[in-house]
Chain A
């Protein structure tokens, strides 16, 4: 109707109307109507620039359609899954962490090569016994509401994060902290009960964004970060503008940032192709491949330690029998899974979260059993299941997980393990629903890449781990994990990680068939972008628009 209306006006009122403009207006309208966000006017400065029509020919009609923004306005639009949680102490998804990472600041940050780098803390000193950490904080930092940032803010934030009553998932991670103390206006001291070689990484946990001392409502977006939130429309988008007072000179380079929410990867990639978004950080392998020769889009790929795992609960039948876990390992062909589900991108898994990315700790010669269907059947028979097993497999609907389920079903069927697949929306799988990721007997779960391996052991596999989805409890494992996580002797830690990989390959409750690659695709209108192994921790402060 709109199209017809405009056509009508063009012919009757403006007979001398220049055709290039008319075509441009129509094209933009078509794009606007056919796009994923039909209610949103499309900003297309580069298209507007190509028009050669004289200025006086600009009519109201196309002023409505295209609003060319000035060259100094550089807006980056990122496509991500909708965010649900704002309070940094409880965030978990890509979009939640990405937004928080640009509204708030971490005390220390992690670069794409997994090194600790300064952020709000500019320098630090560690005592010889590894129990005391003293941080010097940046000067001239202000909150978005104008108040100055002080050491008290850091103390308050970490006390909140480690308070079990608040209930942040980090309470466990920070149980080792005895005391956090402001030893000066811009100096903070942490005292630990046990030495922790990974403590700086822990301080840069996804949740550990510094919020203002005494904040009652941690969903108010009052951070010190490079961007200020101007508008948040749940399920639609979040709009941010550059923080003019950001404490690092010359950052951010963008003037505005938008995270636009997409429930569907394909829709997000279509929007990237159509120019409605500029950056996409999560996509299936096939979508990534389909973007390879797309003009105007640069694709990036890096290895990560992220993985999908298949886990069977060890506190229920049949997983409480270690022979069943072994049988499933024998029934699985990890190489075929990598080829089919990830098309060969990434690396083959060894059933342990200590992947090849952690060169120092990874033991490439420790491998889970290669596929042997007869052995799997024999083990099942020995375990008391001579006729095989019937299991229901729950899997989130994102990424290659439904494909992984389909391939598993086919492989395990050879060993008389019949699985019925239940594909659940990701948001439901990670909610409190029945058969969620912590409850289902057999499930597939995706784990993001972390800068160091101890995290997975502490939250996923130790007896009292907060996200112990396989309900695994093994004294030997716990002892090894404790050594790996506390020893200050590097050689001893390497040895402990090696034993852990051996133990998990032999009798662990999880099958990790592959470590995935992280994909990204960005419009070639932007430069300075670096991909990170965990998409949520992507740092957009140095991204700028090409002139």
Chain B
């Protein structure tokens, strides 16, 4: 929004940050994630979960579907940190191993949605006209339905599986990302540096990615973080409703759903995965909030 845009000196138009060596830029951006206490807390939570997702199989004491009949329904103890569920499965191991699933599904889904959404948003916003009109009305029709309802509809058609959940996340969130990107494109596409690039005869992809995309990144980063937190919810909700990841995968939503029948007997089997969902979503939201404050602050760049 406040990117440098002096039409007289086109060479200076890329934001200063892009001109600096990329390693430095990354480091500075990374430090931004710890700029405020709440952001730092959020980032720490997300990084911890990410670490758990990466090294999960090494720290989980038991397998995801390892059933120890003799240990069924044990409350939390030193052998079973989070207790065991009714089938004698270690809840701690399942929560730990489930982290990878949530990152794989929600993370990859968000990434793909951001990719698709950015491409559509850039092209649609820049080209305008009938293409823009058609695409946006189509996206509007998708957005008219609540995300969960749309997801249920799609899953009802393609059948529940991990891949379907991934596809559903992409379909549900692409329109939202595309609209955010498009709105930024509309605000910059008539600025001087873009027109200069156009008159210099630069190709369309080059204009989109070299000239316009940098202006989109702040808003896009915030949006991506927000989408990620919603995607976690969506994956968990679908798992809970039984149409997402199928048992006996340690999907957190599915674990909550399976354990809710036993809540009077083995409450720990429900509370720990539920807490994991809540904590991760809070972490991502705090991080997104911090990013928003930093990246979209008037003085930034």
Contacts and interface: CB of A to CB of B under 8 A. Distances in A.
Interface string B58-99: 000000011101001000000000000011100000000000
A422 B245 CA distance: 9
A490 interface: no
B65 A340 contact: no
A397 interface: yes
A286 interface: yes
Interface in A293-315: none
A126 to B, nearest CB: 48
B246 A421 contact: yes
Contacts of A343: 86
A286 B86 contact: yes
Interface string B40-55: 0000000000000000
B246 A266 contact: no
A409 interface: yes
A406 B246 contact: no
Interface string A406-440: 11011001000000111101000000000000000
Interface string B154-189: 000001100000000000000000000000000000
Interface in A375-427: 397, 402-403, 405-407, 409-410, 413, 420-423, 425
A290 B246 contact: no
A139 to B, nearest CB: 49
Contact of B247 (A284, A340, A421): A421
Contacts of B69: 336, 339-340
A120 B67 CA distance: 52
A287 interface: yes
Interface string B245-263: 0111000000000101110
B264 interface: yes
Contacts of B261: 265-266, 284, 286-287
Nearest to B156: A428
Nearest to B260: A266
A423 B260 CA distance: 17
Residue in A397, A406, A421 whose Cβ sees the most chain B Cβ within 10 Å: A406
A406 B262 contact: no
A407 B87 contact: yes
A231 interface: no
Nearest to A341: B87
A289 interface: yes
A266 B139 CA distance: 38
B242 interface: yes
Contacts of A413: 65
Contact of A422 (B65, B246, B258, B264): B246
A301 to B, nearest CB: 17
A409 B246 contact: no
B31 to A, nearest CB: 44
Nearest to A405: B247
A406 B87 contact: yes
A180 to B, nearest CB: 45
A406 B260 contact: no
B87 A402 contact: no
> Chain A's interface: helix, strand, loop or mixed, by majority?
helix
B2 interface: no
A425 B72 CA distance: 27
A254 to B, nearest CB: 30
Given A266-B260, A340-B72, A406 B86 contact: no
B265 A340 contact: no
B242 A407 contact: no
B87 A340 contact: yes
B246 A403 contact: no
A290 B265 contact: yes
Given A420-B246, A421-B246, A422-B160, A409 B87 contact: no
A400 to B, nearest CB: 9
A409 B258 CA distance: 16
A340 B67 CA distance: 9
Contacts of B159: 422
A405 B86 contact: no
A402 B258 contact: yes
B84 to A, nearest CB: 11
Contacts of B247: 402, 405-406, 421, 423
A407 B66 CA distance: 9
Given A336-B69, A339-B69, A409-B65, A403 B160 contact: no
A266 B270 CA distance: 14
A421 B249 CA distance: 9
Contact of B265 (A289, A405, A410): A289
B69 to A, nearest CB: 5
A320 to B, nearest CB: 26
Nearest to B258: A402
A340 B260 contact: no
Nearest to A413: B65
Contacts of A286: 86, 261-262, 265
B160 A340 contact: no
Contacts of B248: 405-406, 409-410, 421
A314 B67 CA distance: 30
A290 B67 contact: no
A322 to B, nearest CB: 29
Contacts of B87: 340-341, 403, 406-407
A265 B262 CA distance: 12
Contacts of B66: 410
Contacts of B262: 286, 290
A191 B160 CA distance: 51
Contacts of A423: 160, 242, 246-247
A83 B246 CA distance: 27
Contacts of A405: 247-248
A409 B247 CA distance: 10
A402 B262 CA distance: 14
Contacts of B260: 266
Contacts of B86: 286, 340, 343, 403
Contacts of A341: 87
Given A290-B265, A403-B86, A410 B246 contact: no
Nearest 3 CB-CB pairings of A with B: A406-B248, A290-B264, A286-B262
5 contacts: A266-B261, A336-B69, A340-B87, A405-B247, A406-B247
